[in-house]
A = this chain, B = another copy of it.
Amino acid sequence: MEPDGDAARLGLGRAAQTLPPRLLLLPLLPLLLGRGLRVVAAASSSGAAAEDSSAMEELATEKEAEESHRQDSVSLLTFILLLTLTILTIWLFKHRRVRFLHETGLAMIYGLIVGVILRYGTPATSGHDKSLSCTQEDRAFSTLLVNVSGKFFEYTLKGEISPGKINSVEQNDMLRKVTFDPEVFFNILLPPIIFHAGYSLKKRHFFRNLGSILAYAFLGTAVSCFIIGNLMYGVVKLMKIVGQLSDKFYYTDCLFFGAIISATDPVTVLAIFNELHADVDLYALLFGESVLNDAVAIVLSSSIVAYQPAGLNTHAFDAAAFFKSVGIFLGIFSGSFTMGAVTGVVTALVTKFTKLHCFPLLETALFFLMSWSTFLLAEACGFTGVVAVLFCGITQAHYTYNNLSVESRSRTKQLFEVLHFLAENFIFSYMGLALFTFQKHVFSPVFIIGAFVAIFLGRAAHVYPLSFFLNLGRRHKIGWNFQHMMMFSGLRGAMAFALAIRDTASYARQMMFTTTLLIVFFTVWIVGGGTTPMLSWLNIRVGVDPDQDPPPNNDSFQVLQGDGPDSAGGNRTKQESAWLFRLWYSFDHNYLKPILTHSGPPLTTTLPAWCGLLARCLTSPQVYDNQEPLREEDSDFILTEGDLTLTYGDSTVTANGSSGSHTASTSLEGSRRTKSSSEEVLERDLGMGDQKVSSRGTRLVFPLEDNA
């Protein structure tokens, strides 16, 4: 019985100008599948020759639309069920403390399985005979009005199709349905992930390592991109000689590949770090690098595209174009950064100077809208929305968060946490699916092997020399074990995939996409499974209280020390950090915090006397009540971080590892974590009989004495 189908028929008949009403009951589909889904009304009934009766025609069109709508629902349901399955299995894994396979790896496996089923299990409903050619003048218009026996139909341009592909398009409707619009990744799935990363940044350790993080993210990514690009150009030349290359592959394509594959995404590693409470500085370095190099990779890849010299298709080196693209890089990056920071500051001011916190729902909604508008604003101004959203998230966490009501704090956290979780698992299960359902794969063994070697070398050339130079300036040296761990954790994930799928039109891009997909699979599974053994093998301490500084006298940790016993003093931050950081810190503490939040010293004390009136206006009355003494230590950061983690229960499930989930054990056991948490973790891990950890338990070095 198809009651609704009948219901919709006549409405549609009269309403051919708008969309078929049956379609309109499909919610959130545009959200996930974007344009990709709606592309082609199903062809099931269009094989017949042209009928004369317009009624029959309408009926056929409706049936098509209805069928298409149903297929859309089914394909989206596939994803939902996939995610549901993933969630249930994740729960099982967490329940049984299985650590060798992370949820993202799991999502990919399920995606692969469903992909295989879709690929080989569904009949190939080839969509022959539903397109017709109509030769036209020499320009493609965006809208086409087609006169069909007196009726006008409006068509919109979808894109160009290479002549060879005309017959292969739409070979399998179901495959086509599940292979959806790449823009969805950038427009819908990435922003919440990136915002969440920024919003739940562990600020203290992030800022303490800011210099190194920036170096890794900017210099390192650029180095890695350049090295991979050049190595791949060699590989491509080789392929040309061997005769493996069947189409054009320019130098800029190689550089582009370098850019998209340089964005690391150690989701798995960080999740395991979180669970095991691994060293917080290493965590900060890895996390900070991966968040920022996502942004760098986006901007870098568009700059490389822009680098292509003005005379089309020459693809040779051109100094002017090179400097132009460097300029573009800097322009876009700083513009996006500013935009994100400004929106964050505006939100902070609004939440500070209204009493919006009496109405948490309004506050949350405002917060959400402002964060979203960052993205749109950046896009409208020609900057990069994703980058803007990242810095907006950081600013929101640093300032606005303090102005929110308690309820809004947990509400915003949880909202973005859920969005992030869903988006991330969706991307990973989609990746699994794409390996089989994507219909334009170009598998080139030489290129793939070359790429694996290149990313290995690129990562090595990025981590080790940079660490060497950074160690020259750092008080807390980045030890060899940290460097090896960073080398090992250079796995590729969502961002590489999103950048690769963005454009799969040319032969070169298709080859890149396939290779990227395989690299992501390989690194996620291998590195994900190898993290725990690697940690113990490299003697990286686990079970660390993140608010605690590294133990001063423990010989097994050569890391982060370098300045001996004096580092146990009360005012570490000042000593540890570079002057730039100190400058920023005092500026932030003395001026920005009091202006933008209810905390910090009153502006009347920090601003010069002639600003008295302004200072009084901007300082909130609360400040005078709970005026913090100007402690020398970074109490400010600690406090804020304490706040951040306060509202967080168990969040090891946030795969990006960005949330304050070092309280996992706390919430599970219902007690505030104490300084002896390392023993607890040890006990827990051994007690649970987790074979993975306990088998190597002897090699895991725990700081068994309480360093407090």
> Is the beta-carbon distance between A366 and B148 smaller than 8 angstroms?
no
Which residues of A in the span 495-512 have a Cβ within 8 Å of any Cβ on B? 502-506, 509
> Is the beta-carbon distance between A379 and B73 smaller than 8 angstroms?
yes
> Is the beta-carbon distance between A41 and B142 smaller than 8 angstroms?
yes
User: How far does the alpha carbon of A76 sit from the alpha carbon of B23 in the complex, in Å?
Assistant: 23
> Is the beta-carbon distance between B162 and A158 smaller than 8 angstroms?
no
Q: Which residues of B contact A3 (CB under 8 A)?
A: 306, 327-328, 331-332, 335, 382
Supplied contacts A130-B143, A133-B145, A134-B147, 6 more A-B pairs, CB within 8 Å: A26-B187, A76-B376, A131-B141, A152-B166, A360-B650, A414-B414
Is A611 part of the contact surface with B, judged by Cβ < 8 Å?
no
> Is the beta-carbon distance between B155 and A158 smaller than 8 angstroms?
yes
Q: How far is the CB of A500 from chain B (nearest CB, A)?
A: 12
A3-B327, A379-B25 are known contacts. Are A140 and B163 too (CB-CB below 8 A)?
no
Q: Which of B17, B302, B649 is close to A11, meaning CB atoms less than 8 Å apart?
A: B302
- Nearest neighbor of A4 in chain B, beta-carbon distance: B382
Which residues of A in the span 98-124 have a Cβ within 8 Å of any Cβ on B? none
Question: Interface SS of chain A: helix, strand, loop or mixed?
Answer: helix
Q: Which of B10, B162, B165 is close to A305, meaning CB atoms less than 8 Å apart?
A: B10
Q: Can you name 7 A-B pairs with beta carbons within 8 Å?
A: A4-B382, A29-B187, A30-B188, A46-B141, A87-B365, A87-B366, A368-B422
> Is the beta-carbon distance between B7 and A328 smaller than 8 angstroms?
yes
The digit string for A359-377, where 1 denotes a CB below 8 A from any CB of B, is: 1111011101110110111
> Is the beta-carbon distance between A149 and B138 smaller than 8 angstroms?
yes
Ordered nearest first, which 10 A-B pairs have the shortest CB separation? Answer: A16-B160, A7-B302, A27-B187, A73-B380, A15-B505, A155-B155, A24-B183, A41-B142, A7-B306, A138-B149
Q: Of A349-357, A445-453, A554-562, A697-705, which binds chain B?
A: A349-357
> Is the beta-carbon distance between A362 and B4 smaller than 8 angstroms?
no
Q: How far is the CB of A79 from chain B (nearest CB, A)?
A: 9
> Is the beta-carbon distance between B361 and A651 smaller than 8 angstroms?
yes
Is A135 part of the contact surface with B, judged by Cβ < 8 Å?
yes
> Is the beta-carbon distance between B368 and A418 smaller than 8 angstroms?
yes
Which residues of A in the span 376-394 have a Cβ within 8 Å of any Cβ on B? 376-377, 379-380, 382-386
Is A706 part of the contact surface with B, judged by Cβ < 8 Å?
no
User: How far does the alpha carbon of A28 sit from the alpha carbon of B152 in the complex, in Å?
Assistant: 32
> Is the beta-carbon distance between A50 and B160 smaller than 8 angstroms?
no
Is A35 part of the contact surface with B, judged by Cβ < 8 Å?
yes
Is A61 part of the contact surface with B, judged by Cβ < 8 Å?
yes
- Nearest neighbor of A411 in chain B, beta-carbon distance: B414
Is A156 part of the contact surface with B, judged by Cβ < 8 Å?
yes
Q: Count copies of this chain in the complex.
A: 2
Is A551 part of the contact surface with B, judged by Cβ < 8 Å?
no
User: How far does the alpha carbon of A152 sit from the alpha carbon of B160 in the complex, in Å?
Assistant: 6
Is A434 part of the contact surface with B, judged by Cβ < 8 Å?
no
Q: Of A88-96, A200-208, A284-292, A531-539, which binds chain B?
A: A88-96
> Is the beta-carbon distance between A385 and B25 smaller than 8 angstroms?
yes
Q: How far is the CB of A440 from chain B (nearest CB, A)?
A: 10
Q: Which residues of B contact A154 (CB under 8 A)?
A: 131, 157-161, 169
Is A641 part of the contact surface with B, judged by Cβ < 8 Å?
no
Is A415 part of the contact surface with B, judged by Cβ < 8 Å?
yes
User: How far does the alpha carbon of A364 sit from the alpha carbon of B370 in the complex, in Å?
Assistant: 24
Is A70 part of the contact surface with B, judged by Cβ < 8 Å?
yes
Q: Which residues of B contact A383 (CB under 8 A)?
A: 4
> Is the beta-carbon distance between A8 and B57 smaller than 8 angstroms?
no
> Is the beta-carbon distance between A156 and B155 smaller than 8 angstroms?
yes
Q: Which residues of B contact A504 (CB under 8 A)?
A: 18
Is A523 part of the contact surface with B, judged by Cβ < 8 Å?
no
The digit string for A13-55, where 1 denotes a CB below 8 A from any CB of B, is: 1111111010111111111001100111101001000111001
> Is the beta-carbon distance between B159 and A133 smaller than 8 angstroms?
no
Is A303 part of the contact surface with B, judged by Cβ < 8 Å?
yes
User: How far does the alpha carbon of A383 sit from the alpha carbon of B25 in the complex, in Å?
Assistant: 9
Is A398 part of the contact surface with B, judged by Cβ < 8 Å?
no
Q: Which of B7, B137, B302, B355 is close to A8, meaning CB atoms less than 8 Å apart?
A: B302
- Nearest neighbor of A366 in chain B, beta-carbon distance: B87
Is A672 part of the contact surface with B, judged by Cβ < 8 Å?
no
Which residues of A in the span 55-99 have a Cβ within 8 Å of any Cβ on B? 55, 57, 61, 64, 69-70, 73-74, 76-77, 80-81, 83-84, 87-88, 90-91, 94-95
> Is the beta-carbon distance between A191 and B28 smaller than 8 angstroms?
yes
> Is the beta-carbon distance between A365 and B422 smaller than 8 angstroms?
yes
Q: How far is the CB of A394 from chain B (nearest CB, A)?
A: 18
Is A631 part of the contact surface with B, judged by Cβ < 8 Å?
no
Q: How far is the CB of A701 from chain B (nearest CB, A)?
A: 29
User: How far does the alpha carbon of A411 sit from the alpha carbon of B650 in the complex, in Å?
Assistant: 13
- Nearest neighbor of A384 in chain B, beta-carbon distance: B25
Is A146 part of the contact surface with B, judged by Cβ < 8 Å?
yes
Q: Which residues of B contact A377 (CB under 8 A)?
A: 73, 77
- Nearest neighbor of A422 in chain B, beta-carbon distance: B365
Q: Which residues of B contact A136 (CB under 8 A)?
A: 132, 134, 146-148
A25-B187, A131-B145, A422-B365 are known contacts. Are A14 and B87 too (CB-CB below 8 A)?
no
Q: Which residues of B contact A84 (CB under 8 A)?
A: 366, 369-370, 373
Is A317 part of the contact surface with B, judged by Cβ < 8 Å?
no
> Is the beta-carbon distance between B415 and A418 smaller than 8 angstroms?
yes
> Is the beta-carbon distance between A10 and B308 smaller than 8 angstroms?
yes
- Nearest neighbor of A169 in chain B, beta-carbon distance: B154
Which residues of A in the span 278-332 have a Cβ within 8 Å of any Cβ on B? 302-303, 305-306, 308, 312, 324-325, 327-328, 331-332
A156-B39, A354-B88 are known contacts. Are A365 and B145 too (CB-CB below 8 A)?
no
User: How far does the alpha carbon of A368 sit from the alpha carbon of B76 in the complex, in Å?
Assistant: 14
Is A5 part of the contact surface with B, judged by Cβ < 8 Å?
yes
Q: Which residues of B contact A135 (CB under 8 A)?
A: 146-147
Q: Which residues of B contact A145 (CB under 8 A)?
A: 131-134, 161, 166
Is A190 part of the contact surface with B, judged by Cβ < 8 Å?
yes
> Is the beta-carbon distance between B18 and A69 smaller than 8 angstroms?
no
User: How far does the alpha carbon of A359 sit from the alpha carbon of B160 in the complex, in Å?
Assistant: 47
- Nearest neighbor of A350 in chain B, beta-carbon distance: B88
> Is the beta-carbon distance between A328 and B134 smaller than 8 angstroms?
no
Q: Which residues of B contact A73 (CB under 8 A)?
A: 376-377, 379-380
